[in-house]
């Protein structure tokens, strides 16, 4: 059960790479309809792709629920999944430091989420990972956060 206050919308997805792409498009539509601006839309899409693919590839989740809640100056996105426990708020932010040929191809998601969200909070509740990501409206935001698409 989400603790987000209305106005919010929520949608369930199977935890697959194909559904991650669909979820990405759905959240992008919500963010666009809310008039948050391109910068915020970019940040939300980036964080969602990271957390969804983590749940699928590393957490081996079966299902995920995404809830989007409008705020006066931004948006809150809750991502819940039934995969293995993982708290990205305490995971180290990896970065390539200095010129090298010996660098990892993946594992940069945590650092990106920390950089692109205003705040992240996590808890494990009723067998689900519950990650709450907060975003500010972008500099070019152009509408109030009172319009959400139907799921």
Residues at the site binding another protein, with contacts judged by CB under 8 A: 17, 20-21, 24, 38-39, 42-43, 45-46, 49-50, 53, 94-101, 103, 105-106, 108-109, 111-112, 115-116
As measured in angstroms, the least distance from the Cβ of 118 to another protein is 15
In the complex with another protein, which residue's Cβ is closer, 100 or 142?
100
In the complex with another protein, which residue's Cβ is closer, 97 or 142?
97
Please state, in angstroms and rounded to a whole number, the distance separating the CA atoms of residues 148 and 62.
26
In the complex with another protein, which residue's Cβ is closer, 4 or 79?
79
As measured in angstroms, the least distance from the Cβ of 106 to another protein is 6
Residues contacting 126, CB < 8 A, separation 6+: none
In the complex with another protein, which residue's Cβ is closer, 49 or 134?
49
As measured in angstroms, the least distance from the Cβ of 138 to another protein is 10
CA atoms within 13 A on the CB side of 86: 23
Sheet holding 74-81, edge to edge: 8-14, 63-71, 74-81, 128-136, 119-125
As measured in angstroms, the least distance from the Cβ of 119 to another protein is 17
As measured in angstroms, the least distance from the Cβ of 1 to another protein is 29
In the complex with another protein, which residue's Cβ is closer, 106 or 127?
106
């Amino acid at each position: 059960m989400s603790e987000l206050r209305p106005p919010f919308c929520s949608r369930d997805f199977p935890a697959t790479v194909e559904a991650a792409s669909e979820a990405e498009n759905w959240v992008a539509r919500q963010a666009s309809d809310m008039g948050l601006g391109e910068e915020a839309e970019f940040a939300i899409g980036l964080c969602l792709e990271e957390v969804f693919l983590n749940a699928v590839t590393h957490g081996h989740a079966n299902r995920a629920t995404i809830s989007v809640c409008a705020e006066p100056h931004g948006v809150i996105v809750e991502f819940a999944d039934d995969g293995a426990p993982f708290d990205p708020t305490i995971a180290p932010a990896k970065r390539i430091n200095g010129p090298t040929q010996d660098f990892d191809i993946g594992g940069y998601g945590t650092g990106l989420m920390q950089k692109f969200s205003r705040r992240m909070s996590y808890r494990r509740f009723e067998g689900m990972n519950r990650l709450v990501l907060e975003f500010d409206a972008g500099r070019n935001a152009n509408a109030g956060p009172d319009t959400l698409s139907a799921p």
